[in-house]
Amino acid sequence: MRIEAGDRELVQIVDTAMAEAARRSGSWLVCRLGCTQCCIGPFPISQLDALRLRRGLADLEAHDPARARNVRRRARESVARISGEFPGDAATGLLDEGEAAEERFSGFADEEPCPALDLETGACDLYSARPMTCRIFGPPVRCGPDAVGVCELCFEGASEEQIAACEVEIDSAALETELAAEIERTTGAKGRTIVAFALA
């Protein structure tokens, strides 16, 4: 499977499910331009997410070079600020794996804004290329056996039954696994990183 075509299919599956979650959530869902709480503090991303982000940055470079330069600058500055405490290999940007590494990551750079975030506008400069974590955050979403995560700003005052009525399930694990294997086979890239290292 070609990675780019497979990734487009994956994004379509996820975005379709999220549109349904947003429809079900109605006014409970407060995610809007300028709401940036989930854009502060790094989170692990896959090599597929990293590849999508770099493609998105290349596309941005083609039609808005100044914004692309700002994203690259913010990414470089972020890497410079966080490298000393990075819970992984700061030379490669790969996160360490295992329980101890996850514990180190849990409090890492909690106040660091995502380099894709334009702090002046509150907009993501790489919104169409954003990682899967960004795509599914907000409404109640279940991905396989994982617990349902809900943004703490959404569904305030909602009962568990009201939240459950908005839940969608996304069955994309097999496709993501296939794409990760293809990336590793064709590029050698494996392991998780963060947005700053993917873009720096």
Q: How many domains does the chain have?
A: 1
Please give the sequence-ordered ranges of beta strands (E in DSSP) within the chain, or none if there are none: 88-89, 94-95, 117-118, 123-124, 141-142, 168-169
Q: Which residues contact 41 (CB under 8 A, 6 or more apart)?
A: 109, 110, 111, 112
Chunk the chain into consecutive blocks of 10 residues (it has 200) and report each block's average pLDDT, rounded to whole numbers: 90 94 90 89 96 98 98 98 95 94 90 96 96 92 75 86 91 92 93 97
Q: What gap in Å lies between CA 195 and CA 42, rounded to an integer?
A: 7
For residue 86, what are the domain limits? 3-199
Q: Residue count of the chain, please give it.
A: 200
Q: What gap in Å lies between CA 190 and CA 50, rounded to an integer?
A: 11
pLDDT recorded at residue 34:
85
pLDDT recorded at residue 146:
63
pLDDT recorded at residue 23:
93
Please tell me whether residue 168 adopts helix, strand or coil conformation: strand
pTM: 0.92
pLDDT recorded at residue 143:
80
